[in-house]
Each structure stands twice: as structure tokens, then as C-alpha cells.
Amino acid sequence: MNNKIVIYDTTLRDGMQGIEINYTLTDKIQIACKLDELQIDYIEGGFPLSNEKERAFFEKIKKENFSHAKIVAFGSTRKAGVDVEKDVNIQALLKAETSTVAVVGKAWKEHVEKVLRTDIQENLAMIYESIRFLKDHGREVVFDLEHFFNGYRDDPQYAIKILQTGTEAGADTLVLCDTNGGFLPSEVAKIIQSLPMARLSPIGVHFHNDCGTAVANSLIAVENGAVHVQGTINGWGERAGNANLCVFVPNICLKTKFSANICGKLKHLTSLSRFIAEKANIIPDRRQPYVGEAAFSHKGGQHADVVSKAPHLMEHIDSSLVGNERKILLSELSGRSTVHKKISKYGNYEKNSEIVKKLLDQLKWKENEGYEYEAAEASFDILIRKTIGRYTPLFNLNNYHLESFKTWDAPSKTVGRLFLSSDGKEIMGAAVGIGPVETLDKALRDALTPFYPFLKRISLIDYRVRVLNPQEAAAAKVRVFITTSDHERSWDTVGVSGNIIEASWEALVDSMDYYYNNYVLEDY
């Protein structure tokens, strides 16, 4: 049995069919380069016939020097009744000039008759002629059998005939697709076990996640002989998405006898997940297995204590294997040992009972005021630094002034000015934005970036507000969370006030101070 699994990424094609997912041409090129760095075997670039951006991708990607991955152009078999050499889709695949092409064909009789509006024999001819033509033109051909599992359930003999036709035409890989995402692992296993694998080209699989089983289906397919698995980073895709490579890959690498080329680059998986989320302007799923921020987070004091003594009792793998990190969350469930763990990174302060008591008192008071550090560890880092005297503010505020205005025929705008002192200099910043938080952020950057260029690297990527005492109506206190990123890592800060602008300002300042203290000053 072949223990090496081919990983085929379709983030740039199938993944872009997911809700709210969109990339610029530059994004697509950068993502492809990043996937290559991690030794992904195949990168499906898109459908060159669909639009100008897709065609441009295949032109630009030729100029990139890939160390490992093969770029794949995606398309369908020739149309019914059309000569293969005249079919515009087949010609588009050739013009893309990729060494590998993916061709999708119908594997469900009902689709052939109701969607293609042709007969099952013509469908076989369409499949054979398209694959053979592309093979004769020197292409490696991945043949995607759309709705294969539904087609097999409906008519096993015809589904197998399509597999045989693809094999006879010279397809390098036959990909069984659960296009509707409606199959469970047990049925997937039975169907694959029934196939005459020895007489077919190598088998691959492509699962959608409508039942939440795309990764499980991919794993059981591999256990039953599949050697090629398709999926997307973060599991994005049409409807409920595709098999999540950020889950499938570490499962294969760390939990089975199988391997893949990406296994040697597994420690970069978390950063890959977040890089692609950043490009899509999507907030990373904190609860995603392996690469999510919560994947190795511990909240209860007892759990945190166990982790400090024997991590394997609470964590199924070492988080560093996938480039993630353990987090001990602070909340009302946390014990003294959690605070000791947090403060220990700065030295032996946990042995200083006066410092620990002061920090615990500060934490208790802050939580009573409405602060929540469980989801804002960067703000807690600032609190620790202030308590132990290891805090250097980026600036001191003298004052800021905001003014919002609106005319009847235009959206509202906010004008802001602020006056700061930093490193012995008096600085002014000004900006115009839509809302007060955006305006303050812009004004701060206007004032500080000439002196602190690192601010160009960080950006606000999420802003959340929680009303703490809604019974107070307009006078209610709010908790503001801000997520900031430097495109490699992200961190969260919190502010609390009866004034939403003040709460936002507090979280915004913490976000800059955290980066300044941890990743700028610490480098010197």
C-alpha cells in the first residue's frame, strides 16, 4: 500500500465559492506562493474560462518559481455534440499552459439526463474524448467525477463504467466527489471498498462538508486506498465548505501511518491558516481544531494546573507541532496557579507574594468593573507589565477632540485631532473617518508613524462591542474588544467605560502598546 498521500489544494477555486470569500489577483498569487512554501502538491488556480481575473492568474503565475507545487487549471469535459478540438473549455485549459489540468465530468445519470440533457453514452464519449485529447497534448489529467457517490448509489454499474472510461482514456487520477456533501463515512467506506481498484487509475477524493463529515470521509477514504485528497485551507467552500486541510493534514501526519510532503512543514500550518484568512478579510475561527486560537487554550484553574505539570494529560499533541501555542485563559475560573504561569515569563515574580497579591487584586477589581481578559490576553499582558514595572508606553495623551457631522445628502463623517507626547516630543495627529474609532486610529497613525514605522505593519481587523448593563439604556457601560494583526500573528485587547469612545480608545492604545513592548522594544 502506498503510504504517501497527495495533497491537492482548491482554496483558490472551490474555496472562493464560499460565502464572503473573495481574493484579488495579487492575493491569489501570494496565496499560491505560500502554499508552495508548505509543499502542497497541487494548487488549483481556478477556471480560466470564467472571467478575466482567472485568465490573468494563469498568465502571472508563469513568472513565479515554484519549488514543489504544480499549478492546475480547472474545467469541464467537452459539451455534448461538440467536437473536442473545437470546444472552448478544452481550448481554455490548453491556453492556460499548466502541466496539470483538472477536468470535471458528470457521474450521476440523473445529472446527465436533466442537466446536460444528453444520454449516458454521449456522456461517456465526452469524458473519454476530453481526457484523451488533453493527454495527447501532454497534460497530466486529474478527472473529477462530479456527484460520484450519488451516482454510485443510483446506478453502481454506470458509475464504475465512468471510472473505467476515465482509466482507459489515460486519466492520471480519478477523483470521487461527494458534491452534495451528503454522505457519511460508513457509506463512503463501503462504496470505495466495492471498486475494482487494481484495474483503475489511482483514486482521489473530494468531499464537501454539508454533514460535517468531510474530513472524516477523507480519512476513511485514505484508509481504503485513496492516495489523493482535495480540500481547502480553513475548510472554506460552497455552502458548508470543503474538507478542511488544516484538520485533515495534521491528522494524516500525526495520527496515522500515512504521510504527505507537507508533513515536513507542519509547524507553519497555523500561520498559513491565518495568512489566508487575512487575505480574505475573514476573522479566523478561534475554535478550529489544531490551528484555532482556542485549540490549546485552557480556562479552568484545575486544567491549567494539570497542563503545567503534564501537558499530554490535557492536550492531544504539542501545539508547536502545528505552529500554534498554548494559552492559559484568565477568568473567574482561573486559580492562583494561572496567574503564576502568566507572570513567570517575566522572571521569578511568582515567588514575590506582594507582586502576586497586587496583580490578583488588580485582576479582581478589573473584572468587577466589567473587564474580561479571557478574550483579551494582550491587555492582561499590559496589566502585568504595569504591575511589575516592565511597561513602556508608546506615548502619553494630552488630549483628543472629535467632531461628527452629517449633511442631508451625504454619509456622516468624523474629524479628529489629538495631541501626544512621545520620547520627549510633542506631536499632533489629525484624520477624517466614518466613525470615531476609525478616526482615532488614523489620527494616532498620522501622529506616530513618522517616528515609529512599525505601525505600518499592524492593522485593526476586528471590533466588537458588548453592552454590560442594558437596563441602564443609553447610560449603559460597554465592553469593547479590538483584534489587531501584523499579518503573522494577532492579539486582542479590551476597554470598558460608560463612554463607547473611551472604551474603544483604551483597547486601541493597549493594542499598540502590546506590540511595542513585546515585538519592538524586546528586539533591542
Q: Please determine, for residue 72, whether its predicted confidence score (pLDDT) is greater than 80.
A: yes
Beta strands at 425-433 and 6-9: parallel, antiparallel or unpaired: unpaired
pLDDT tier at 48, thresholds 50, 70, 90: confident
CA dihedral 443, 376, 468, 398 (to 10 degrees): -30
Pick from 143, 146, 138: nearest CA to 103:
143
* Percent over 90 (pLDDT), the chain: 67
Give Dmax (Cα) for the chain.
84
Q: Judge whether 304 and 272 are in contact, CB under 8 Å.
A: no
Q: Judge whether 151 and 162 are in contact, CB under 8 Å.
A: yes
Q: Under DSSP, is residue 347 helix (H, G, I), strand (E, B) or coil?
A: coil
Burial of 261 per CB tally in 10 Å (0-12, 13-18, 19+): middle
Higher pLDDT, 292 or 51: 292
pLDDT of residue 278: 79
Q: Please determine, for residue 334, whether its predicted confidence score (pLDDT) is greater than 60.
A: no
pLDDT of residue 254: 97
pLDDT of residue 524: 44
pLDDT of residue 54: 85
pLDDT in tens, 105-148: 999 999 899 988 999 999 999 999 999 999 999 999 999 999 99
pLDDT of residue 333: 46
- The secondary structure element, H or E, covering residue 398 is strand 396-405
pLDDT of residue 202: 98
Stretch 445-467: mean pLDDT: 91
Vertex 158 angle, CA 156 and 163, to 5°: 95
C-alpha cell, 310: 503534564
Q: Judge whether 85 and 136 are in contact, CB under 8 Å.
A: no
Rounded to 10 deg, the angle between the 353-369 and 377-388 helix axes is 140
pLDDT of residue 522: 66
pLDDT tier at 364, thresholds 50, 70, 90: confident
Q: Judge whether 191 and 152 are in contact, CB under 8 Å.
A: yes
Q: How crowded is residue 365: how many other Cβ atoms within 10 Å of its Cβ? A: 10
Q: Please determine, for residue 305, whether its predicted confidence score (pLDDT) is greater than 70.
A: no
Domains of the chain with bracketed CATH: 6-280 (3.20.20.70), 297-369 (no CATH), 396-523 (3.30.160.270)
- The secondary structure element, H or E, covering residue 278 is helix 269-280
CA dihedral 273, 279, 280, 283 (to 10 degrees): 60
- Dihedral sign (CA 182, 187, 189, 192): negative
Q: Looking at residue 42, what DSSP letter applies?
A: E
Q: Under DSSP, is residue 41 helix (H, G, I), strand (E, B) or coil?
A: coil
Q: Please determine, for residue 56, whether its predicted confidence score (pLDDT) is greater than 70.
A: yes
Stretch 52-56: mean pLDDT: 85
Pick from 459, 447, 446: nearest CA to 422:
447
Distance CA 109, CA 387 (A): 70
* Percent over 70 (pLDDT), the chain: 93
- Enumerate the H helices of 418-487 as residue ranges: 436-448
C-alpha cell, 63: 513568472
Q: How many residues does the chain have?
A: 524
pLDDT tier at 358, thresholds 50, 70, 90: confident
Distance CA 160, CA 165 (A): 9
